[in-house]
A and B are shown apart, each in its own frame.
Chain A
Amino acid sequence: MIELINVSFKYTDKLVIKDVSVKWGSGLHLIKGPNGSGKTTICKIISGLLPPDRGYVYIDGVDVYSGESSKILKDVVYVHDKPVILNRSVYDNLILGARLLKRNVNRLKNLVEFFGLYDILDINASELSAGYKQLISLSRAFIVRPRYLILDEPFTNLDTKFRDKVIEYIVKEYRENTVIVATHTTYLDRYADTIRKIHKGKLV
């Protein structure tokens, strides 16, 4: 369970997250809002990447910004809205997450089949199109199957041909875990357990 208590954040001149409190249990949850409304900020705060000015973030009861955070952050993965790719083969990029977390790569084979990536495994990933790169960024997280997956605008840079497959994957594989998706699209609406709109505070 993810719990935000009185979280506030302010960039020097811009965006403001004001006093947000929310709880998310397992399942698929959407955060909706127009561009620039703070979706990325909220996502990063949840993921342990951006300490809020005020307030607390608890995941499974552990304060994500305390000394204990490493216990739980191993199971929390954030995927950027822009692809993040290393100048290496697609294969190396895909297994990077699993390598760092020291987990096995069993799911790699299934994923490669599912998305049809077999032909490009040896290619240098930085030479691919943005659409492919975003898929790789996402798949890197999928292979690891974290208990908490935070996706920031996964569809924006994604090739349309992958869109349905990604939706299918999220819905199928993440039954027992928690997935938070920040998006302004409606593709996941019918599968979501909760939808919250962001506008300084949150509403359903």
Chain B
Amino acid sequence: MNRYAGLGIYKLIVLAVTVVILLGIFYYIGYGRREVRIATTTSLYNTGLLDFIVDSFRERYPEIDVKILPLGSGAALETGSRGDADLVLVHAPKLEKSYIDMGILTAHRIIAYNYFILVGPKDDPANVSNQESIIDAFKVIYTAGSMGKAYFISRGDRSGTHIKELSIWSKIGIKPSGEWYIESGSGMAQTLIIANEKGGYTLSDIGTYIALKENGRIDNLVILYSGDDELINIYSIYLVNPEKVAGVNYGDAYILYKFIIDNIRYFIEEYNSKYSVKLFYPADNEDILMDKWWMLAG
């Protein structure tokens, strides 16, 4: 005559076992699938170009799963070196070089380029718009900043943009610090928004800037300097070297790699057609670009 009508601890165990079995089944089904992981930067990923490319790839090769890992350039390279990515697509030549030297990255190709832009507040307190080179522009920002008249917002996260910014500072021989130099430690969009709020200067990729500007999010910012050769932003693709790094899926990664290189011109054209500004240029003169890459890599 047991009138107890609760669940009892056994039902909890049964529930858990069911969950484990279900998970096990899903895991087992997914285990053998071919998978390529491509580590890239958030700014490149956020343009949507990669999703576009990969969707196209999946139609052609449905049996290969592709996982795009949007990280910063630094994190993407590190992920590759740990074997957790098979392809790396970044834009930070100096960092890339150290990984090439370690033998971790191979098959270096340049697939696209564009230019960084220097943006800042409309009133331009440091008088950047009258400068003739990006070096001069950074110099006046530094001067104005040290006098408390201007801010500079840095990504501070070892991203491609950050590395580029640092390389310019080091060309002037400055290690920037102080109240005027703000490290946001966050993505490009947030950095631009901070710059907008504080009326500060920042280095940005063109894609993120255009996207936010067209959404009316950064009304206080304008492009104050662009077009300098120094500001070139080169996107490179690599295969992770299976001889140096364990666990990479070199075979399938190569298929994706070749697919991207063979079709990149088409993808960029398609992609650019959606915007009023050319967000990417295909790597038509790869030799020249390679030379530039070597200069940037130091």
**B contact residues vs A (CB 8 Å cutoff):** 1-4
A124 to B1 Cα, complex, angstroms: 13
List 7 A-B pairs, Cβ < 8 Å: A88-B3, A89-B4, A91-B3, A92-B2, A92-B3, A92-B4, A122-B3
Give every chain B residue within 8 A of A121 (Cβ-Cβ).
1
Give 9 A-B pairs besides A88-B3, A89-B1, A92-B2 with Cβ atoms closer than 8 angstroms.
Answer: A89-B2, A89-B4, A91-B1, A92-B3, A92-B4, A121-B1, A122-B1, A122-B3, A124-B3
Chain B residue numbers with a CB within 8 Å of A124 are 3
Q: List chain B residues, Cβ under 8 A from A89.
A: 1-4
CB-based nearest A residue for B3: A89
- Distance between Cα atoms of A89 and B6 in the complex (Å): 12
Using a CB-CB cutoff of 8 Å, which residues 116-159 of chain A contact chain B? Answer: 121-122, 124
For the complex, give the distance between the alpha carbons of A92 and B2 in Å: 7
Query: What 1/0 flags go to A84-124 for Cβ under 8 Å of B?
Result: 00001101100000000000000000000000000001101
Chain A nearest CB, measured from B201 CB (Å): 65
Query: In which size bucket is the chain A interface?
Result: under 10
The distance in angstroms between the C-alpha atoms of A121 and B2, with both chains bound, is 10
Please, which residues of chain B bring their CB within 8 A of the CB of A91? 1-3
Residue of A nearest to B4 (CB): A88
| Binary contact readout A33-58 vs B (1 if CB under 8 angstroms, 0 otherwise) | 00000000000000000000000000
With a cutoff of 8 Å between Cβ atoms, the chain A residues found around residue B3 in the complex are: 88-89, 91-92, 122, 124
The chain B residue with its CB closest to the CB of A86 is B4
Q: Which residue of chain B lies nearest to A124 when distances are taken between CB atoms in the complex?
A: B3
How many whole Å from B3's CB to the nearest CB in chain A? 4
> Complex formed: what's the CA distance from A89 to B4 in Å?
7
Task: Give Cα distance in the complex from A148 to B3, angstroms.
Answer: 31
Contacts of B4 in A (CB 8 A): 88-89, 92
Least CB distance from B76 to A in Å reads 56
- Chain B residues positioned under 8 Å from A92 (CB to CB): 2-4
Tell me how far the C-beta of B286 lies from the nearest C-beta in chain A, rounded to whole angstroms.
77
Closest to B2 in A: A92
The residues of B that contact A88 with a CB separation of less than 8 Å are: 3-4
- Return chain A residues, CB-CB under 8 Å to B2: 89, 91-92
How far does the alpha carbon of A121 sit from the alpha carbon of B1 in the complex, in Å? 9
Q: A122 to chain B: which residues have CB within 8 Å?
A: 1, 3
State the CA gap A124–B3 with chains docked (Å). 9
Tell me the bound Cα distance from A71 to B2 in angstroms.
Answer: 30
What residue of chain B has the Cβ atom nearest to residue A91's Cβ?
A: B1
- Name the A residues within 8 Å of B1 (CB-CB): 89, 91, 121-122
Q: In whole angstroms, what is the CA distance A88 to B1 when docked?
A: 12
Rounded to whole Å, the gap between the CB of A97 and the closest CB of chain B is 16
Determine the distance from Cα of A124 to Cα of B4 in the docked complex, in whole angstroms: 9
Q: Give min CB distance, A61 to chain B, whole Å.
A: 39
In the complex, the chain B residue whose C-beta lies closest to that of A122 is: B3
A38 to chain B, nearest CB (A): 38
Least CB distance from B7 to A in Å reads 13
Kindly report which residue of chain A lies nearest to residue B1, judged by CB atoms: A91
A91 to B1, CA, bound (A): 8
Q: How far is the CA of A17 from the CA of B4 in the complex (A)?
A: 42
Cβ-closest chain B residue relative to A121? B1
4 closest Cβ contacts across the A-B interface?
A: A89-B3, A88-B4, A91-B1, A122-B3
Q: How far is the CB of A90 from chain B (nearest CB, A)?
A: 9
CA distance A162 to B2 in the complex (A): 26
Q: How far is the CA of A121 from the CA of B3 in the complex (A)?
A: 10
Which of A88, A121, A122, A124 has its CB near the most chain B CB atoms (within 10 A)? A88
A129 to chain B, nearest CB (A): 20
| A88 (CB) vs chain B CBs: closest residue | B4
Question: What distance in Å separates the Cβ of A127 from its nearest Cβ neighbour in chain B?
Answer: 13
